[in-house]
Amino acid sequence: MSKQIFFYGAMNSAKSAQLLMQNYNYKEQGANTLLVKPAIDTRDGYRNISSRIGLKSEADYIINSDTPQKEIVERILRDDNIDVVLVDEGQFLSKKQVDALSESTRIMGIELHVFGLLKDFQNNLFEGSQDWLETSDNIVEIKTTCSKCTRKATCNLRLNDGKPVYDGDVVQIGGNESYVSVCREHYYNYGYGGII
């Protein structure tokens, strides 16, 4: 029986590390996995899924921004020995791509585990994340602490030369130098004023 789980967290909450650890554990148990990622994530190369703690693996399937639903469904349905599909950076997928992954894994009766950010740096839900929230059987928060205090980080703050940025293009891949995970208080008051 298929099950869809959305694992979400702020930046630096070890989402990719947990995906890679799950992949390792499934393989140790003899299960077949399919690692999926969106093409927009090129931080560590086009095919690589990697974590900040050094874990790394090559993705089996890359979804481009214009990959049609039909191609995604056909890719999942043609491989009848998959036990679980693991998706990294799931927030960057479109609603139609989310629906294609969700439906095809349901038809095949296989697990679908998706890892991603919930909100962008403007504190709005990503399109993909909203659809994962709406369609998943389980929703799991992966917690991390604020980069300025010990409270739980719930926001992703974009920095430019160390100063908060609250507007601009939403989809912009960065690392520690561009984004920090912060609590709600430090999202609005990072040390340089706030939105207002």
Spans of all domains in the chain:
4-141
Fold of 4-141: Rossmann fold (3.40.50)
| Separation CA 163–CA 157 (nearest Å) | 10
Of 72, 28, 74, 19, which is closest to residue 48 (Cα–Cα)?
19
Q: Among 3-7, 73-77, 145-149, which stretch is predicted with the lowest mean pLDDT?
A: 73-77
| Residue 151, pLDDT score | 95
SS3 101: helix
Residue 90 has pLDDT above 60, yes or no: yes
Residue 66 has pLDDT above 80, yes or no: yes
| Residue 175, pLDDT score | 46
Catalytic residue among 28, 58, 89, 103: 89
What digits encode the pLDDT tens for the residues 153-180?
A: 999 999 988 889 888 777 655 444 588 9
**Gyration radius of the chain over CA positions:** 17
pTM of the predicted model, to two decimals? 0.90
Average confidence score pLDDT of the chain = 89
What stretches of 61-162 adopt beta strand conformation (E)? 61-63, 84-87, 111-116, 138-141, 155-160
| Residue 160, pLDDT score | 85
| Residue 196, pLDDT score | 45
Concerning whether 89 is annotated as a catalytic residue, the answer is yes
What digits encode the pLDDT tens for the residues 104-133?
A: 999 999 999 999 999 999 999 999 999 999
What digits encode the pLDDT tens for the residues 22-56?
A: 999 999 999 999 999 999 887 777 788 988 888 88
Q: Are 138 and 112 in contact (CB under 8 A)?
A: no
| Residue 192, pLDDT score | 54
Instruction: Find residue 180's DSSP bridge partners.
Output: 157
| Residue 177, pLDDT score | 54
